[in-house]
Structure formats: structure tokens, C-alpha cells
Structure 1
């Protein structure tokens, strides 16, 4: 599936898988889905978390099945009915998300994705897409995984060592997931990186960096030392942001770290093509701190 639908790096376009849960349409970036399969036998897990349907076997690999119906609507999936599943990869681990049906694949522009209304910003939507068939909600799968892995996240932060010299460094951070931004600020702050300016989409962070160039020219780095960016963001994606920075005659010295759940073995080359200095898979916080250190010291 991947080879047929991968788009050129930094074109400002993406393809999304449209799926249905309880009569409502949602979507996920094609690059986050390893495959689409029919959900077969699911064995209940010992975990009492109602968001977890259980475990299933896919080609001799045991996978956790997440119940999107319960997460979205607090309605547990009826496994007596035929269901489909999205197999996704996060932090080098494959997780399965149960859905009612798959509506198809649609090509859109990042600029077609708008930020959710501030009144519903706390929801699981990171973007709205207006289509001929209505509004598509792009879900924050990173938040879903983070909420299900809170203990693991806490352990990651506990291993961070504070170093005072990090406080002088100025970092810009762009990620559409409020949950990930908060996690990054807490963890980087625990390491000593407390001077962080955050943005929730690629357009805003790129405009802010362009303003530094206009004001300071070649001395722009007196206000910014490094950029950490997600890939999947509304309006402008992280690959395009990185490419524009690295193609700029002045800004190309700015270190850029891509921090994304899309950093898989198959897709690592896309970041290389746009000139990213480092690529770290979410939520490998310890590895992120090491990468930032290597670029700034």
C-alpha cells in the first residue's frame, strides 16, 4: 500500500484514510497506517481499561486492539458485528484501532486542514477538513496513545538529567498535538531546556522564523538556536517547513529536529531529502534530548 501512495516530500499534499465510527467520519494520514485489515478474533486483555478491546494475532504477531468507539463516544464496540481495523506504528510498535468501516483514501492539501475551534480544542481532533460530503475530523492519535501510556511516559521523564547550561538555548517547537507539546515542554524543561516557544502548526512557526530573518539577517540565531517540528500539522506540514528553511540562503544553518510518529524505517528517507539534521520517533524523549544536545553543544 505504501509504495503506491507515497507523495513527494514537501509538496504540501497528503493522502488520508477516511473511516467511520458510529456513523461519523474521521481520517488519519495514510503514512501512519501500515495496513487495513478485517478485524478477526479478539482475546480480552487482563487490562481493565475499557479503551482496550483486547489482543489479536496478525501473522504470528500479537497486537493490542484499541477501541476507537469507546474513546470517541464511550460506546464499546460490538465484536459480534463485522469490524475493520487500522494497523498503525507508533514508537516502532504496531497498534490496531478498531473502526466500523473504511470509506476510502482521499488526497488533500495541508492548507485545507484548519485548526479546531477553540471551544473544542480539548477534544481529540487536531484538524478539520471541509469536503463535499461534510466535515472530516483528523484525530490526534498521538494523544490517544499518550493517554494509554501515561505510566511509560512518566518513566521516560524520570530518566532525564538536569544540566544548567541548557537554559541559555532558545528552542522553537511546532506540534499540533497539545498533549505532545505539554509533554515536550515538561521533559525538555526537566533537562534544563526551559526557553521554549511553542506553535501548533507549521505556517505559524515558519512565519515567526522568517520574521527573525527580516529583523536580524545573518544574526537571526541570537533569538533561536534550534527548531523541533512534527510532520503532520494543519496548514503547513513539517517536511515543507524543514525544506523551506534548508533551502533559504540565511536560515539553512538552523538545526532542525523532526520529532514525529511518522519516523519509521520506511519513511526516514523523506526527512533526509528535506535536510533534517535529526529525526526522532515519538515518544522517544530521551533520544530527543540527546539529539538536541549533539546539535547545540
Structure 2
């Protein structure tokens, strides 16, 4: 069992720990902070007509949790889908925004402690908005692909997650001329942010895939910026460091910064809908 630990990033260092695992002989990784536990496979109850990524549900200490096959999520050919769970495979119990899910992987390898600049962004040649790859960690023997788990969950159920339809375009002020800079490594979330902000009347948007590129833009006095929106977890420079550097810069410290994250508040008993929030200001 992996004990819950304070995020290394939040402790003031530009570092993180990732857990490496294998699926279909490929190496993948995710932030250790999101992994609550690793267990041997449990009995699964199949769900009729469920999404092909979902193997079914299982019970863990009284909780009924969905089991998602990363193998099915990561193969492009539907004929390669499988519902076989081998005894030597593993379940990763993962918590996203106070919502627990289980990812089935073939093998858990080890934990790596890295600095954010060791995670390279994927090249546009092989990466697009439909890709699940957020970054690449180069190792001596192999490469570890950092996965966009939020996109996997959203592809399974578009109603679970951040929805632009739930936002109201009632922000006051001169929105058309407001210059907004956004740092977000997920292509899916960049697309949602662009459409949502455009819908709200904001037109002057500039996107960056990591905090370092964003800060390099902000370092120039010629680039006028009215608002910075940043994700927390990004390669090269995370959102905490980006915010820190902005607030330490005498030319930029008055620029408002919104740190972009998800907080899950649960399901409404009246509407049956999920309630989400994804921002905090600095």
C-alpha cells in the first residue's frame, strides 16, 4: 500500500514522484500522489453494455469501484479489446478529485523521483488532441509515457468532468480586449478552455503547453497580459513555480493568476448531476 503523502511539488520543490507501470509491454507513468493503493486483482462483476474500457465493478472495503482497463484504453484496434485479468497483474486505486477509480495494469515497476524539466512534451508529429500522452520521461533503457487520465475518464463518460455547458457567460468588464495567457499541457483541456472563454466573450487568448514557455513569454515587457491561467501539473515548470516567479517579478506581480484545478463536490440529489470546480485565484 502506498501511504498518502504530501505532494513534493507543494512542499516547494520543482519535483514530483511518478509510479512506473507496464501495459501491453509499454512503459507508462502517473503522479504517485494520485495513487492511493496498489492491490492484486479482485473479483470483477461485469456491467452489461458498459463502455469497452470498463471491465466492470469490484468491491474494496465496502466501496463499489469501477475497474478500467488501460490496455483497452490504449489500443487503437477494437478487436484487441480484452476482459482477461491475469493473476500477476495489478490494480491501481486512483483518486481524482475525491472520486476513486481502479485502473488495471499488467505490471507495476517502480517509483521515480524527477524534476519537471525531465518530462519532455510530446512532439506535434505524433501527438494530437485525441492522444492520451502528456509527456515523455527518457530513461536509459526505455521511455515512460505520462498519461492524461482525465481524458481517459472523460472519453468513457463525457458527463464526468469539466463541462463548458455548465458555465454562464456573465463575466463583467471589457472581455473582448482582455489579454489572457493560459498554461495547460492537456490538449483536451486547452480546447475546452478556448471554447468556454470564447463563449464568455474573451477573444485574445494565448496558450502554452508548459509553465516554462509561458514564463518566457511573460518575461518580455512588450507582451501585455491582463490575466494568467495555469494548470498545476505540467512538464518543464509546474503551475506553483510559474505563479511564484510571476509574483516575484516586479513587472508582473500585480498580474492576477488563476491556478486551474478540479475539486469534486459530489452528486446532487435533486439534479443527479456531478458538480465540479476548477479554479483558484492568486
TM-score (norm 2): 0.83
Q: Choose from 95, 103, 119 the match for 2:109.
A: 103
Q: Choose from 197, 202, 206 the match for 1:193.
A: 202
- Structure 1 position 52, deviation (Å): 0.8
Q: Matches of residues 1-297 of structure 1 in structure 2 within 5 Å?
A: 1-3=3-5, 6=8, 9-73=11-75, 74-122=80-128, 123-152=131-160, 156-163=163-170, 165=173, 166-211=175-220, 214-215=221-222, 223-261=224-262, 284=276, 288=279
Whether the 8 Å CA contact 2:176–2:202 is kept in 1: the answer is: yes
Whether the 8 Å CA contact 2:8–2:15 is kept in 1: the answer is: no
* Aligned equivalents of 2:161, 2:16: Cα separation in 1: 29
1:40-89 Cα offsets, whole Å, 9 max, x none, are 11111244310111111122111111110001124324124332122222
TM-score (norm 1): 0.80
* Aligned equivalents of 2:63, 2:202: Cα separation in 1: 39
- Which fold has the larger relative contact order, with Cα–Cα distance below 8 Å and residues 6 or more apart in sequence? 1
Unaligned runs of 5+ in 1: 266-282
Task: Report the number of matched residues.
Answer: 263
Q: Which has the higher helix share?
A: 1
* Aligned equivalents of 2:19, 2:200: Cα separation in 1: 37
* Aligned equivalents of 1:4, 1:209: Cα separation in 2: 30
1:177-217 Cα offsets, whole Å, 9 max, x none, are 10111011112222223322111111110111111xx33xx
Whether the 8 Å CA contact 2:9–2:240 is kept in 1: the answer is: no
* Aligned equivalents of 2:4, 2:217: Cα separation in 1: 34
Unaligned runs of 5+ in 2: 266-274
* Aligned equivalents of 2:20, 2:83: Cα separation in 1: 19
